[in-house]
Amino acid sequence: MIDYEKTKAWRSDPVRHTYTERDTILYALGVGFASDPLVLEELRFVYEKELQAVPTMAAVLASPGFWMRDRKELGIDYLKLVHGEQGVTIHSPLPAAGTLIGQSRVTRIVDKGEGKGATMHVEKTLTDEASGQHVATSEMVLFLRGDGGFSKNGGGDEPAPAAPATPDAAPDVTIELPTRADAAVLYRLSGDINPLHIDPAVATKAGFPRPILHGLATYGNACRGILAKFCGHDASRMKSIRARLTSPVYPGETLVLDCWQLGSEEIAFRASVKERGVQVLANGRAVLGA
């Protein structure tokens, strides 16, 4: 069972991550940019000429790795862990290449009850090594399906404020975002090499008919759609983006991104798979700047 005090006190060592323009381009390809290389606006994410980084790349830079598995004294049942939500706040545009220092910490652990699991919030700050600039803050919310009921031994935090609901109205804009058949093969080169996303035998053992796309790649595809429709492909306008990851996508499927404009600076969104009608992102919010 999870040890609340030890887990809440967990802090990563500083993670120094040097990345190049090639890494930035690989990430963009993995979330669908330039699937049609004649869409000139998307070349800004895959061509070293005036290259800009996709804001959601902050979620994968300077990661502390799968520390829940390596720190057995924390008592986390990592085999039943699910990535449930992701948010990124951009304080200064991500450099297209450079060295960032990432530091991660647990900020909240909520007991949902015996047999109901727990949720854990992990915050990561990214700082530019050269300038000292705080570049981004990333938060992941993990659903610990095997760790409900830990608070009977003491500890436990109050739940985070509920995610804002999707507007009860027809979307203002609907965007179709095809995903590449090789999307997971490309995206895994940005750091998540779980064989579930490339090995058919592993996917079958996990209960899937074929390898699935990474949840963070689906999240990055939503960022792609919002940058195209609302930001003129200008990455510097994206200030934050957050969503719940609700169901897997198979590479090659088409995402349907429904968007609502909540004033000039906020977009609500959700995403589903066109071919199966399954919702894959929920409670999405993006905040934009001028």
Positions annotated as catalytic residues are: 192, 197, 212, 215
CA distance from start to end of the chain: 47
With tokens 């004649």, the residue in question is 38
Query: What CA–CA distance (Å, rounded) separates 138 from 59?
Result: 6
Is-contact 146 80, C-beta < 8 A? yes
Query: What CA–CA distance (Å, rounded) separates 278 from 267?
Result: 21
Dihedral Cα 270, 162, 8, 79, nearest 10 deg: -40
Report phi then psi at 55, rounded to 5: -55, -35
How does strand 98-111 pair with strand 15-19?
Answer: antiparallel
Q: Which residues pair with 101 in a beta bridge?
A: 16, 127
Is-contact 280 273, C-beta < 8 A? yes
DSSP codes joined into one string, 267-284:
EEEEEEETTTTEEEEEEE
Helix (H, G, I), strand (E, B) or coil at 232: coil
| Nearest of 240, 248, 244, 251 to residue 281 by alpha carbon | 244
Query: What CA–CA distance (Å, rounded) separates 169 from 61?
Result: 36
